[in-house]
Amino acid sequence: MNPCNVAWMKQREIRDYRISLRGIQATMLILLLAAVPVWAGSSIAPKLDIGKGGQCVDDPKFMRKNHMKMIVHQRDETMRQGIRGGKFSLAGCVDCHASKKDNSVLGSNEHFCQGCHEFAAVKIDCFECHSSKRKVIAEVSK
Amino acid sequence: MSDKVNLGRRQFLSKTSAAIAGIAIAPGMLLFDFVHARPAGEAASGAVRWGMLIDTTQCESGCNECVTACNKENGLPVAKLPTDVQWIRKVELKQVSTGRQVSLPMMCQHCAEPPCVDVCPTKASFKRADGIVLVDKHRCIGCRYCMMACPYKARSFVHEPVLDHDSDMPRGKGTVESCTLCVNRIDRGELPACVEACAKAGHRAILFGDLNDPNSEIHLRIRSVASSQLRADLGLNPGISFVGL
């Protein structure tokens, strides 16, 4: 149904046709806009407790896709070559992303690392050794 | 995997900065070697070789401060069973013929030719560029060949799950571990925990520093005082030497 093929239509009819096309586009746009929050809020996407807030060490979109590569790369550099102070530190992730409620990145499907990994069916062993808790420093009372 | 550090701009920079720091600090620093923090993002340098000189004449029998400090620093439980983790232990020696007694701390000797590294099937056991022998627990499969290869019995296996993790010192069941010379402290420019504790207890039996630096306190002491390595006959060239054995 291409508007060019309906040249035999009377002007009015063509205009009607265009209006209805716009109507369809608008309807679809509204539907899309409405669908995004519905999708994000539904049980399909994990609802994550971001933790302390601030700004992630990189673009969140990039992090979502690449955090595993970045952490593991930095891990090998730190462990084997002694390069310290990089931004993709596991302890750093935990410090920011641990929930403000219990200082942990694990515990439920809302906790940052566990929530998304459960959703994506990923299992990591890092927290068998690494602390999953934010280090609470005594200076807080200062 | 290659552990070689490329000898490029980085190392040139670290060498020059080390030299400058050395000149500025040398006159005032006599008690300990000056250990300065490597800048963030810089790899450990192959120009450095960390080591210790343990003066057994200053080590007090019955004193356990180094062991306690090590446990605290590295989040280790107090060893009760022979199979429990020990990174450092106190050893009391007695010469039967004369009755002379010697007390000393024993830990990983950070060999230049470490047999634990040779036997490791996964390259988890490795020697860092600055001479520190480590276990990369990310690669360790817990086979324990390294424990058998070590003539000093310096390594331990973690048999029990670790429940309360320390953020700075990750460790867990199923891997081998041993003295790291407190690698994370060294990288921050601090002394190993045992060295600090020994000095605090007033003994100063452990001198830590860069064996390669001709101006370092440890280098000067080793050049002027008779010292020996344990089982030097094995040709492993340990980074730890002893005075008064």
How many independent structural domains does chain B possess? Answer: 2
CA separation for the pair A15, B110 (Å, rounded): 86
Residue to mutate among A125, A128, A136, with most B CBs inside 10 A, is A128
Contacts of B161 in chain A (CB under 8 A): 128
Least CA distance to B123: which residue of chain A? Answer: A80
Q: Is B118 on the interface with A (CB under 8 A)?
A: no
| Contact assignment for A79 to B134 by CB distance below 8 Å | yes
Residues B18 and B99 both lie in one domain? no
| Contact assignment for B166 to A81 by CB distance below 8 Å | no
Q: Which of B5, B161, B168 sits opposite A81 (nearest CB)?
A: B5
Task: Find the domain containing B18 and state its range.
Answer: 1-30
Residues B97 and B167 both lie in one domain? yes
Residues B62 and B174 both lie in one domain? yes
At A25 the pLDDT is 61
Residues B22 and B88 both lie in one domain? no
Q: Which of A43-57, B115-129, B131-145, B165-179 has the lowest mean pLDDT?
A: A43-57
At B17 the pLDDT is 42
At B35 the pLDDT is 58
Band (B124; pLDDT cuts 50, 70, 90): very high
Residues B19 and B41 both lie in one domain? no
Residues B76 and B87 both lie in one domain? yes
Band (B168; pLDDT cuts 50, 70, 90): confident
Q: Which of B39, B138, B161 sits opposite A79 (nearest CB)?
A: B138
Residues B70 and B167 both lie in one domain? yes
Rg of chain A over all Cα atoms, to the nearest angstrom:
25
Least CA distance to B169: which residue of chain A? Answer: A130
Residues B118 and B194 both lie in one domain? yes
pTM here is 0.82
Residues B134 and B66 both lie in one domain? yes
Residue A3 has pLDDT above 50, yes or no: no
Residues B3 and B67 both lie in one domain? no
| Contact assignment for A131 to B167 by CB distance below 8 Å | yes
Band (B19; pLDDT cuts 50, 70, 90): very low
Q: What is the pLDDT of residues A89-138, one digit of tens each?
A: 999 999 999 999 999 999 999 999 999 999 999 999 999 999 999 987 64
**For range B77-88, the mean pLDDT:** 92
Residue B20 has pLDDT above 70, yes or no: no
Residue B245 has pLDDT above 70, yes or no: yes
Is ipTM > 0.90 here? no
